[in-house]
Every structure is written in structure tokens, then in C-alpha cells.
A = this chain, B = another copy of it.
């Protein structure tokens, strides 16, 4: 047990923009500015298999959603002890969630104490924390990153780990805990809520939706924070690359974007910038496309563009593309099997152990990728799929296909591929106005939910297409987001990742425009749009379209 300040920003020199953002004021939804009551809705169910979820969460299953409404009476302050933890990868706005909780406690639960657990869930288990004060928090307001208390990827899973969490909650006499994280972390938050309640502990647990990937959302939680900022930053860079492509007239830029499980980032960036080609993983999976299909799709457009003298273009690819292609998954599974037991002989006899379809796919892959598959393994001896640079692989496969077509006389252009990966530079940007405001409201709401004794809910802020003042505020039962998966013969609760819906408004808009974008150059260069300029307060296309705006 320790309590020392995290040295993160202490040695920092703030840029003028960082300083100006520090003092950027954060508006609150109107309902949070007056006294408010918490009104419960009808009981909730689950996203799937409610009976199993009910069994897994006997204490918290079925809780109603909570909605905040203005009230007349001023409540007497009661002081609380609240902990907060950041879990998983960074997303712009995390610091504002913490600021929101803190400010709620300062304003509505005077005399409260707030603890930040260091380094993610491990900080809870090891009881490593820092007591948060306004002096400590202030330098992080509206700033990117998670370095105020840092994050981690540990999980509270085993009975021993739950025991450790209990001990920490008791030691610190915690009234509540806010878990800021993605789908896994919010599932974990609900398990903690269940566990604490089952032991009659007073500690309540509230989740907050975080992930730049945008794949944690539902009707009542319209978006996860960080997605807006990350997409705006990536779109700015893509817009610049488009200008470059059009000016030079000789490069195809293959841009890989973050998003391993879902392709929301790629779709949003496409809607913002209008690239010539965009691959959406969910569509590839739905249409059961092979790697050859994807290659041909790209190559066909390149050939058509070449006929109208455009030997350049911009192509967006989601990081997780090959995870969406079943044949690749099969090949990798077979390779793992073979590599574990057999010798890879130079003559290639080992290849005969592959099914013929996998053998064909293997031969279709560029040599560098073949070597990568055979040589680079993780500590368990498995092929490292995550290390494959999909954009480079596609460049090589397209190149090979174009060479073939050139020989056949069906293509006569020049092709030069340039690869890009936009990742780290986006997930730690200074939060956009939207993410700054959204996170502050999420945090403030989480504080209020804890103060009204709620547990096992996720902080929910809605009506996001309207001005901040009109946003709705409440909490949604985490169990209502859940389904079960069978693992090792047991049911495990999971919050299903929200994938790109092929029938959803964002994809449909994209699908209705992509043919036009493919041959005409409808490039848009958004410019720096996080919090300056005429669109400083716009929300992203995905959210806007999903809200029906």
C-alpha cells in the first residue's frame, strides 16, 4: 500500500496550446447543473441469453436504467470515498472523466476523498494509488494520454484477485469505484459490482465507455470516448496524404488504421476524407471474401483509374483486416500445428501437410510474408499475426496482380505503393471538444450514480447530436449489454463488441458513395479539427448518422 504522486507531468513543459486547453471551460448538461433526482426505468434484460446472464449476476442482473431529472430539493451533502482506474489502451479524454468525477464530488459531495489507482487494475489488486487533489488533477484537464495515473491491461479474474480487490476496497473504505475501460474492462467492472454486492460490501462499481476503436456502444451508450479525437487526427493526416497523392500523381498510398476487431475508425475516416478505396473488415467477413478477392477488388479499381490516367490514389485498410478472412485464419491454424511438430524443410515438403486451399493461399502470399509467417513466432511458438503489416502485404499482392495483367495486356499504367500506419499519433492526441465535453459529463455522471447508491451500471450520456446543455444523463445496467460465450466448457459473460453494421446508416452512406469516390477524386482534407476552426464543435459522421442526424 502506497500513496505517492505519479511523476508523469511534473517535469513537463507545457506548450501554449496545452496551456490554453487547460483553461478551456467544460460545459455540463443542464440537468447536472441543478439539483437532480435519479429515476429508474423498467427492469432490464441482457443482449443475449438472459437466463445465463441472470445466473452469472444474481445480485445485479435486471437492474433498471437510471435517468437523471431536475428536482426541487437540495440534498444534504454526504462525503464519499471513491476510487478510479484506467484500464487498457489509451483514448483521448480519459483525464476528463477523472476531472468530471472529481468536480462532482467537490460540488455535490463535499468532504469526499478520491483515489486514483496506479497502472490499471493491478493498482487495485496491489493497492497502489494516489490521492487526487485539485492541484494534482488540474494539469491534466483537456490533455491527452492516460499518464495522470496510467493504465494497465491486467484483469481481476481469479478468486485470489477478487479477494485482493475486496481487501483494497475495505482498506480504503471505498464507497465506490469507477472503471474506465473497453468491453472487457466493463464486463470486469460488472463482475466486481456483483462480487462486492454479494458480500454485502458498501463499494459500488460504475463503468465508463472508453476505446478509440468505437466498438463499445449500444442504444443508451451512443459512443465510446476517444473515437472522435482519434478519427479527426487520422482524417487530417489522410487528407494531407490525399493532397500529396494528387499533387505527385504517381503514388498509391495504402493507409492502415487502428481497429483490430472492428473497422469503425476506417469507416469514419472514409466518410471524412473520401478515399478511392476502403476495405471494411465486417463486409469482407459477411461476403466471405478471400485475400485474392480483396486483392482483385483493389486491383480492378487501380486498372479502371489507370484508364482515365489516374495512376495514384488513397486506400484505407483496417488493422484487423486479415482477422476477418476465414481462409487466413485456417492457414495460420494449420501453420501453428505444423510448426509445432514438423521441420520446415527447404524443399518445401512440409507444405504438403497443408490442406490444398491453404497451400494455394500460402503460395499466393508475397515471399516476405511467407517468411514472416514461418520465422516470427510469439513466446508460445505461434505465428504472430499482429506483426503482419497488412498494408505492405497488400501492396505486394496488388503489384504481383498488376504485373500479371500488364503481361496479359489488360493494364498499362504505372504503380508505386507507399505504406502508412496511423496509430499511436492518434490515440494520445489532445481531446477534441466533443471528447473533452463527453468525458467530463461521463465522469460527473459516474460520480452522481455512485452518490445515489447505484452499482453495476455504465455511465450513459445521450442526445449527443444536440448542444451539451441538452444532453441526457443516466446509467445503464451493464448486464443489459451482455451475452455469454462458452469457453473451456463454461459460460463467460461478455459485452459483445459493436461491429460495423452493414445495414447501419454510416456503412450505407459509405456504400452509396464509394463507387463515385473510386474513380473521381472527391478527396476532402479536413485539416486540424480537434478544437479549432469552423467545425470545432462538430461530432463525427458515424455518431451523427447513427443518431439519425
Cα A19 to Cα B529 in complex, Å, equals: 13
Given A17-B527, A90-B248, residue A144 in contact with residue B243 (CB < 8 A):
yes
0/1 interface trace, chain A 397-422, chain B, CB 8 Å (1 if under) = 00000000000000000000010101
Contact of A520 among B11, B18, B523 (CB under 8 A): B11
A525 and B247: CB pair below 8 A?
no
Given A430-B527, A532-B532, A533-B532, residue A145 in contact with residue B247 (CB < 8 A):
yes
Most B CB within 10 A of own CB, among A8, A247, A520, A534: A247
Q: Which residues of A does B touch, CB under 8 Å?
A: 8, 11-21, 90, 119, 143-147, 150-151, 233, 236-237, 239-241, 243-244, 246-249, 253, 274, 418, 420, 422, 424-430, 520-530, 532-535, 538
Contact of A243 among B11, B147, B530 (CB under 8 A): B147
Question: Smallest CB–CB gap between A18 and chain B, Å?
Answer: 6
B428 and A240: CB pair below 8 A?
yes
Given A144-B240, A424-B420, A429-B240, residue A528 in contact with residue B247 (CB < 8 A):
no
Contact of A246 among B145, B520, B530 (CB under 8 A): B145
A524 and B21: CB pair below 8 A?
no
Q: Could you jot down 7 A-B contacts, CB within 8 Å? A: A18-B524, A151-B248, A240-B428, A241-B424, A430-B525, A528-B530, A528-B532
Contacts of A253 in B (CB 8 A): 424
B430 and A146: CB pair below 8 A?
no
B425 and A241: CB pair below 8 A?
yes
Cα A530 to Cα B427 in complex, Å, equals: 20
Question: Which 8 A/B pairs are nearest by Cβ-Cβ distance?
Answer: A532-B532, A17-B527, A528-B528, A145-B243, A244-B428, A243-B428, A145-B247, A237-B425
Contacts of A19 in B (CB 8 A): 534
Residue of B nearest to A149 (CB): B247
A17 and B526: CB pair below 8 A?
yes
Copies of this chain, how many?
2
Residue of B nearest to A520 (CB): B11
Question: Smallest CB–CB gap between A423 and chain B, Å?
Answer: 9
Contacts of A14 in B (CB 8 A): 524
Beyond the given A233-B240, A243-B429, please list 18 additional residue pairs across the A-B interface where CB-CB is below 8 A. Answer: A13-B522, A15-B524, A17-B525, A17-B526, A20-B533, A90-B248, A119-B249, A143-B243, A145-B246, A151-B248, A236-B528, A240-B428, A241-B428, A243-B428, A253-B424, A418-B424, A430-B525, A532-B533
Contacts of A538 in B (CB 8 A): 16
Cα A388 to Cα B432 in complex, Å, equals: 36
Contacts of A144 in B (CB 8 A): 240, 243, 525
Cα A422 to Cα B426 in complex, Å, equals: 13
Contact of A17 among B17, B20, B243, B528 (CB under 8 A): B528
Residue of B nearest to A19 (CB): B534
Contacts of A427 in B (CB 8 A): 244
Cα A21 to Cα B314 in complex, Å, equals: 24
Cα A520 to Cα B16 in complex, Å, equals: 20
B426 and A240: CB pair below 8 A?
yes
A12 and B524: CB pair below 8 A?
yes
Cα A413 to Cα B535 in complex, Å, equals: 45
Question: Smallest CB–CB gap between A287 and chain B, Å?
Answer: 28
B239 and A535: CB pair below 8 A?
no
Contacts of A523 in B (CB 8 A): 12-13
Cα A350 to Cα B19 in complex, Å, equals: 60
Contacts of A430 in B (CB 8 A): 240, 525, 527-528
